[in-house]
Each structure stands twice: as structure tokens, then as C-alpha cells.
Structure 1
Amino acid sequence: MNAFNTPVALIIIGLSVITSGCAMMSDNDENAQQQTEFQSMNVVDITAIDRAPLVNNEDDDKADEQDMDAYGAIGQPPLYSSVQGAYKGRPLTKHIGDYVKNMTQDLIANMEYVNEKTPIGVTHFALLDTNLQTTDLLGRQMAESFVHELHKFRVPVIDFKATDYIRITEGGDFVLSRDYLELSSSLPIEYVLTGTMAKHQGGVLVNARILGINSRAVVASAQMLVPFYVVDALIPSDGSQQNGMRDGVKLSRG
């Protein structure tokens, strides 16, 4: 009786050990699985996509949106809006003044005869395919930016549109005028910065030069392509009405 019961007891004990072992293994597997799931849910490198280079074809559109030119202007960005309306592009980190800055550096690098004692005047940039008596908002703003950049280089600049009085009106107080009868006909200008603009594939090709008033000699020159998305960022104060427009550019007398 005892000999018979001893093997049975051993078998029962063995089965109990195996069962408990399986249960422990099952519990360990469940714990390991839960731990794996927990780790996979929490240990995620969310910056990996940001660090990964955009080299796949499916990411070409994103790569185009992040492209910048040498001066930091953003190309092909998404839609944004302002008080003027909706535009296909984000606000630029660089503007036309940054391109003028680089052109001024080129002018200074190859400039001759102009120094801190030779006053210079700055005119609007004319459209190359006209009679050179027509400009636009880009040509006007480039002249304003060149005045600023030349002054930073300590080149004496004379604003020949300044009058000798301040005109006070309901619209504001002004010292500048485009009426030649209100301006001085005798100014100590020895050199003048001027230039031309031509529409080019992808932008506007700007040619700048400094001329001697008496000799007409070119004493400095620079050239640069300004992208269309930088040019289009200039918004006319009249809301870009179609009157006087040609190929999307508002024309006006210089």
C-alpha cells in the first residue's frame, strides 16, 4: 500500500511542480510581453524623423518646402494670409533689402574713385525693356535700400528729393517731394547709383552701377537675380489694381 502510494505521490508532486512552473513561465511571459509593450509605447524617438534627411522620392515635396536660397529666402512654402489677402507662401525671413545688401558689397568691392568726400545720388531702377523712363515698386524700393546700405559704408548720399521745408497736410507731414519745381537744381552730386531690371526665368535680373556725373564712366557695378517670391512679397499700397499693370507688374513713371 505504501509502495503503491509513493510513486503516485511523486507523480502528483511532479505534476504540481510542472504546473506551477508553467504558471510561473506564463506569468513571466505575460510580464515580459507587457514590459515589451510598455517599452514600445514609451521608448519612442520622436525626433528621428526630424533628424532623418529627406532623400526619399515621397519626401520631395517636403524637401522643396524647406529649400532656401543662399540668402535665406524660403521657396515654395504653404499658404498664409494677411490683411491684403491670401498668398501662396510664408512670411519671408529675408527681403529685398538683404539682396541689396549683397549687391552693395559687390559695388564696394570693385568701386573706384568714390570715397567719403564724393557725394552720390541714388535713382530708381528702370525696366530694361522700356524707354528707361519707367519703373515699378521694386525699382523704387531698391533705390531706398541702396541709400541705406551706402550710408552704412559711410559713403555720402544726397537725397535730391528732399525740399528745404516741411509740408504739413491733413495726410501727414512731409519733407520729400516728386515735384521738380520744389527741389533744388544745384546739388553737389558727383556720382550716381542707378540700374536696370529685366524679368528672368525664376526672378528679376537686377543690374546696378555707379556712374560719374560728368564723365559718365562706370566706376562700380553689380548684378544679381532676385527670386520672384521675394519680388512678389512687395505689396503696392493701392492693392495691386489692374490699372497700369503689365504682366502682373504695375508700371509708373520714374
Structure 2
Amino acid sequence: MLQTKKLVSILLLTASLGACSSIELTQDSNKRLCAKDDGTFYTCQDMVLQQKEITEATSHPSLFTTDLHFNGLDEYTEQMAAELQQDVRGIEVDQAIVVASFVNLDSSLQNTNTIGIQLAESFINELQQIGLPVSDHKIMGKLDVNGRGDFAFSRDMEQLSNNVNIGYVLTGTMLQNSRGILVNARLINFKTNVVAASSSKFLPNVVISNLM
């Protein structure tokens, strides 16, 4: 009977050691009392990263940089086009939409840049994708074939076609700060000036830096 009690005590001790492989030994959080499989104890330490390893890890942008952003300009305009589509529900948009360059939010509203032009180009595609009628007012109505190439677009008013029946204009403003650009887009009835839909998105610098 005594041997049985000893055997039970040993089994309980072994199970206890297996359930908790390490216990606190000192006030040093890196030092602990660890148990081997045979029941003996030894002092063990938590693995400590060398300063070089910490520096290399924290300098790796894919692991620790919070400024990473994986959206492109087309993904922002896609989201904005979807919001515009939500606003125009119930409104029959049966006349062509022309897309104008987005302009800087200043006193003149007559200044744009590469971002403003690319926003307009991207919106032409996105509005077409969601099924809204889009017209490109920069088409000349003829081909200009010369030694430099074959051209269908122009920004010369005298060369542009006057047959565009404009129903709506999509345009907007840009306001830049240290973190990026706030873009406000509006779909406006060309005859009544009534805003039929609007959307707003903030484009961080990481998105726009490759476009300028």
C-alpha cells in the first residue's frame, strides 16, 4: 500500500511538472526554473534578441511601417463612382456625362495639375463601368494624321466637335495638406446646375506621390 501511495505521488508530481514547464525563480523576468523530462530542475532564460536583430527587424518596412498603403488611384475613383451611383438612384441619367479636370480649391477654381487630370481620366472609365453614359468632349471629330502620329484628341477649342449633347458634368475640387489630398467630386446637371450626386475621399501621399 505504501508503495502504491508513493507511485501515485510521483505520477501527480510528473503531471504537475508537465502542465507547467516553467515557474518564476527570481525577480529577473528572463530567468526561470525549468524542469527536464526526468524530473530534475535547472535555471533557464528567455531568449533575448540582440540589438542588431532588433534594429534590422524594425527597419524592415513590410513588417513595421504603418504608412504602407496598397490602394491605387483607380481604386479610390472606383469607390467614389459607386457612391455617386448610390446618389443618382431614382434619377434617369439618359444624357451624356462629360468629365472635367479636377481643380485646386482656390479663389479662381481655374488651376489643375497632373492629379486633377488623372482623376478625370480615371472617372471616365469608372462611370462607364457602372453603366452611366459618358462622352469625351476632347474628341476632335476627325483624325489628325501627321508625321508625329495619328491623333483623335485635342484641347484646342477650335478643333473640338460641337455635337456633344451634354447632360451632366462630373468635376470636383482638390485640397492638399501635409498628409495628402482631399478630393470632392460632384455630378452636376449641366442645364440646371443642380448637384445630382457627390462623393469625397482623402488620397494619402503614398498614393499620389507616384502620380505627380
TM range (shorter): 0.5 to 0.7
Greater share of helix residues, 1 or 2? Answer: 1
Aligned residue for 1:139?
A: 116
Amino acid at match of 1:108: Q
Aligned residue for 1:151?
A: 128
Amino acid at match of 2:187: I
Cα distance in 1, alignment partners of residues 59 and 196 from structure 2: 45
Greater share of strand residues, 1 or 2? Answer: 2
Amino acid at match of 1:176: F
For residue 197 of structure 1, the aligned residue among 148, 169, 174 is 174
> What TM-score results when the alignment is normalised by the length of structure 1?
0.57
Q: Give 3-state SS (helix, strand or coil) of 2:65's partner.
A: helix
* Uncovered stretches (5+) of structure 2, i.e. residues with no partner: 1-53
Aligned residue for 1:128?
A: 105
Counterpart mapping for 1:82-231 below 5 A: 94-112=71-89, 114-115=91-92, 117-231=94-208
- State the 1:99 CA deviation: 1.1
Q: Give 3-state SS (helix, strand or coil) of 1:134's partner.
A: coil
> What TM-score results when the alignment is normalised by the length of structure 2?
0.67
Aligned residue for 2:37?
A: none
Cα distance in 2, alignment partners of residues 61 and 216 from structure 1: 52
Percent of aligned positions that are identical: 34
Aligned residue for 1:65?
A: 65
Cα distance in 1, alignment partners of residues 84 and 141 from structure 2: 31
Contact 1:113 1:219 in 2 (8 A): no
Contact 1:167 1:173 in 2 (8 A): yes
CA RMSD of aligned residues (A): 2.2
Cα distance in 1, alignment partners of residues 83 and 97 from structure 2: 17
Amino acid at match of 2:204: P
* Uncovered stretches (5+) of structure 1, i.e. residues with no partner: 1-55, 74-93, 236-254
- State the 1:66 CA deviation: 6.4
- State the 1:117 CA deviation: 1.9
